[in-house]
Structure 1
Amino acid sequence: MHNTTPPATPSAPPARRKVPMLQPLRHRRYRLLWLSNLLSNLGTWTQTFAAAWLVASISHSTQATALVPAASYAPMLMFGLLAGVVADAVPRAKLLFAVNAFMALAAAGMAALAASGAASPAAVLALVFMMGSGSAFMWPAWQAAMSGLVQPDEVEAAASLNNLSFNFAAAAGPALGGALFVMVGAAPLFLFNALSFTGLLLVYLDWMRSGGKEDGQAQRPAAAGGITLQGLRTGLQAAWGSASFRRLLRHTVCIFGAAIAYTALLPLFVRDVLLREGGAFGSLMACVGGGAVLAAFVLPELRARFERRHLLAGAVAIFGAMLLILPLVRAWAVLMALSALGGVAWSTMVTSLNSAAQLSFPSALRARTLSVYLMAMALGQTGGSLLWGAAAELAGVPRAMALAGACLLLYALVLLRGAAGGRQCNL
């Protein structure tokens, strides 16, 4: 799965013509990758639903269910900076082929485990961790490479297309999984994810055979000295040496650390509070994805009207309010509407923080500094999953959700206070 927002090009003129969203599809390799990635995203979101509900079904432990997102994001925290160095040092077509092949094998392993009837929470979490490890090495390379497949003035349109692909899959995958889980079980859903990597692997193989060219130019050789400790140090120094980037990292950890409560606790909320089955869980996840798809169409207008920090603060406040209200509601239509609204807010938070991270450094450092940003996101999501799982164990799922919502509302005030202070930064 590639949640892709190709980096903006800092050297591009500030005033340029508006590019239609579909225009980047005229580039053959980008078009093939986009279509293949859409299928892979659909497979990954189907598996995301299946893994979470499978653990919730075979374990009564609140903490075990909350560990599913933690197992997915922890590898980025552990390997993120190394992944950025590797992405800057290894031809990206070869790297992307290798990590996607590894993820396909891990998904096939999950299918075999589920089909055997011997699935345990620990085994499922271990395979989710393996999938997350592949994603950790994929994300910096993918984000750094994709802008080379389109023209500079098409980067924003490509970003919109990629987000649309990811969010469409986020809506369709859980809905499909929820409908099929009761009928066929988890194994076929995991197998579908394994097979969904086929298109990407074929495109990467063709890319490798063509010499790894990006935008008509040969793929740049590996960085001098290859993968070194100095490369790791350079990425950290560049990221930590910027006051505005440190502030961005703090926002990322705090916001995602609280917002992940929805993902971590939703299976438990459906199972223990709503007393419903996997189809209901998949439907609510699909509503979040549907809201994110809607965001792709409304965000351009919102960006034209509001500064990035104000837009981010509003999204954080909306997501926090959703988490506060959700435990009080039992009407299904209202639950779906709240989840869809949360999807709009989630997409706004992700794109605002991601675009700020991509605009912070030049291309030569982009993969490594993006990996630091992704590590901050992983820190928030991993730590938050553990925190809200423990809170739900102690105080119950509704109270844990409400507390996370209150934290987000407070942080929205922090963001607005920073904006009132007139800070000049990407956020």
Structure 2
Amino acid sequence: MPPKPHAVPLCQPLRHARFRQLWLANMLSNLGSRMQAFAAAWQIATLSHSPQLTALVQTATWAPMLLFALPAGVLADTLHRPTLLFRSNAVMALTAVAMALLAYDGRQPLPALLLLTFIMGAGLAFTMPAWQASMSSLVPPQEIEAAATLNNMSYNLAALAGPALGGVLYQLAGAGPLYLLNALSFGALLWIYRRWRTTPAPRTAAVSHGMGSALRISWASARYRALLSYAMAIFFVSAAFAALLPLLHRDAATYGALMGALGAGAVLAAFVLPLARRHAARRVVLAGGLGIHGGMLMTIGLAASQPLRLAMVVVGGVAWSAIVTTLNGAAQQAFPDAVRARTLSVHILAIAAGQTAGSAAWGMLAGYCGIVPALTTAGLATLACAGLIACSKDFLETV
């Protein structure tokens, strides 16, 4: 019997050369993406001063996932994944160049910024199923959860440095350099994808047929249905943090520091979570993460000082990493490689539905009753999710 995923040392997947190369290149790309996300959110927050418009940055980012996740998953299962990844990353790099040109030209039209953010999200939508399926296929099954934790740590190392660096660069030179750096950050990934030569996957299904099979296979598993339902609900309630945080402060450096603190907590989680998983079931880890994250959402708007807010967000980042890696690890282990990308696309679709609807909903609620009450309500809803999962069957252990 293979060892349990949580028994695998965190760095063990890095022994595999291709996984290691892609992990390092993706970390560089994540750094650029986090700086761009900071610049776009801060630009729109300062130009509009509107909770609804600011929240639309998250909506524009996640709506493409809702629209394209299923066809993207089918394409990832039926086409040559490195070629698909090269093309989707090239689209994102070109979109970043377009955003940089707008910024350097001095024009900052909100509709154009939101449209380009949407196109960037579309590129990410076509990347995610192929990326997750490719990375999990590069390691043995018992290392998949460790690989998911490493991928999340890569993302959050960038989340730690990206917003802080972005805040400094934004104050010194504006948004243009941040967008340009993001375009350049795709270089290493594009180079690796160009060199990655494997036998193309057989094109055995039309996209429309494959989309139906993705839904059918996913829906046939009661445990996977439960995973999808909880993922949608969790991302709906948690969307308030990213959607409303730019409006809590009107200073780019402060906003960048808070986003960096979230990344710092998630990096710390890479060392804390293996110990937690050694002593607790996945359901308990997920419920605990939700409880802590919900408490952070409830109190972040009421904190009296910036150091206290930073400490709270660091703890919230640990909790958020526990939530994301637990859900992603379960989704990646649910089905064999032949259908993994398309079933992962349904998982991404559920997350995108929750994040897209949540961003819009919390933005409207903040516009109606204020930012702090909206965050407090989101925190209470997150605590409710934690309670439901704590009292549910241990579906994550047997997906």
TM range (shorter): over 0.9
- 2:293 paired residue among 307, 311, 319: 319
**Structure 2 residue 52 is matched with structure 1 residue 63:** yes
Determine the C-alpha separation between the residues in 2 that align with 1:360 and 1:264: 31
Pair 426,278 (structure 1): closer, same or farther in 2 beyond 3 Å: farther
Determine the C-alpha separation between the residues in 2 that align with 1:233 and 1:221: 19
Cα distance, 1:154 vs structure 2: 4.3
CA contact (8 A) 1:58 1:120 kept: no
Determine the C-alpha separation between the residues in 2 that align with 1:411 and 1:132: 27
- 1:244 paired residue among 220, 223, 233: 223
Cα deviations across residues 221-274 of structure 1 (Å, max 9, x unaligned)?
Answer: 32314x332211111101112221111111111111011100000001113xxx
Pair 341,410 (structure 1): closer, same or farther in 2 beyond 3 Å: same
Task: Specify every segment of 5 or more residues in structure 1 that has no aligned partner in the other structure, as ranges.
Answer: 1-11, 213-218, 272-276
CA contact (8 A) 2:36 2:179 kept: yes
How many residues are paired up? 399
Q: Which residue of 1 aligns with 2:302?
A: 328
Determine the C-alpha separation between the residues in 2 that align with 1:201 and 1:88: 20
Q: Which residue of 2 aligns with 1:9?
A: none
**Structure 2 residue 213 is matched with structure 1 residue 234:** yes
Between Structure 1 and Structure 2, the one with more helix by share is 2
Pair 353,24 (structure 1): closer, same or farther in 2 beyond 3 Å: closer
CA contact (8 A) 2:66 2:352 kept: yes
Pair 187,314 (structure 1): closer, same or farther in 2 beyond 3 Å: same
> Any residues of structure 2 matched to 1:267-416 within 5 Å, and which?
267-271=246-250, 277-416=251-390
**Structure 2 residue 235 is matched with structure 1 residue 260:** no
| Residue identity opposite 2:216 in structure 1 | Q
> Any residues of structure 2 matched to 1:186-205 within 5 Å, and which?
186-205=175-194
Determine the C-alpha separation between the residues in 1 that align with 2:239 and 2:376: 13
Cα deviations across residues 179-226 of structure 1 (Å, max 9, x unaligned)?
Answer: 11111100000000000001111111111xxx32xxxxxx3532314x
Which moves more between the two structures, 88-97 or 143-152? Answer: 143-152
CA contact (8 A) 2:51 2:366 kept: yes
Cα deviations across residues 37-57 of structure 1 (Å, max 9, x unaligned)?
Answer: 111010001111111001111
> Any residues of structure 2 matched to 1:86-105 within 5 Å, and which?
86-105=75-94
Cα deviations across residues 341-364 of structure 1 (Å, max 9, x unaligned)?
Answer: 110111111011111112222222
Cα distance, 1:157 vs structure 2: 3.9
SS of residue paired to 2:330: helix
Cα distance, 1:93 vs structure 2: 0.8
Q: Which residue of 2 aligns with 1:160?
A: 149
User: Kindly, what percent of the aligned residue pairs are identical?
Assistant: 49
> Normalising to structure 1: TM-score of the pair?
0.89
SS of residue paired to 2:44: helix
Cα deviations across residues 272-329 of structure 1 (Å, max 9, x unaligned)?
Answer: xxxxx10000000000000000000000110111111111111111111111111111
Determine the C-alpha separation between the residues in 1 that align with 2:384 and 2:11: 39
| Residue identity opposite 2:243 in structure 1 | A
| Residue identity opposite 1:234 in structure 2 | S
**Structure 2 residue 162 is matched with structure 1 residue 173:** yes
**Structure 2 residue 15 is matched with structure 1 residue 41:** no
CA contact (8 A) 1:244 1:425 kept: no
Pair 228,329 (structure 1): closer, same or farther in 2 beyond 3 Å: closer
Pair 236,152 (structure 1): closer, same or farther in 2 beyond 3 Å: closer
Which moves more between the two structures, 152-161 or 250-259? Answer: 152-161
| Residue identity opposite 2:229 in structure 1 | R
Pair 151,253 (structure 1): closer, same or farther in 2 beyond 3 Å: closer
Give the superposed CA RMSD: 1.8
> Normalising to structure 2: TM-score of the pair?
0.96
Determine the C-alpha separation between the residues in 2 that align with 1:337 and 1:98: 40
Q: Which residue of 2 aligns with 1:274?
A: none
Pair 393,17 (structure 1): closer, same or farther in 2 beyond 3 Å: closer
CA contact (8 A) 2:55 2:243 kept: yes
Cα distance, 1:26 vs structure 2: 3.8
Q: Which residue of 1 aligns with 2:124?
A: 135
| Residue identity opposite 2:63 in structure 1 | A
Cα distance, 1:150 vs structure 2: 3.6
Cα distance, 1:158 vs structure 2: 3.1
Q: Which residue of 2 aligns with 1:4?
A: none
| Residue identity opposite 1:366 in structure 2 | R
| Residue identity opposite 2:351 in structure 1 | M
Q: Which residue of 2 aligns with 1:224?
A: 204
Cα deviations across residues 92-142 of structure 1 (Å, max 9, x unaligned)?
Answer: 010010000010000111111111111122111111100100000000001
SS of residue paired to 2:202: coil
Pair 29,362 (structure 1): closer, same or farther in 2 beyond 3 Å: closer
Which moves more between the two structures, 152-161 or 389-398? Answer: 152-161
CA contact (8 A) 1:79 1:136 kept: yes
Pair 250,65 (structure 1): closer, same or farther in 2 beyond 3 Å: same
| Residue identity opposite 2:376 in structure 1 | A
| Residue identity opposite 2:204 in structure 1 | A
Pair 243,148 (structure 1): closer, same or farther in 2 beyond 3 Å: closer
Cα distance, 1:83 vs structure 2: 0.5
Task: Specify every segment of 5 or more residues in structure 2 that has no aligned partner in the other structure, as ranges.
Answer: none
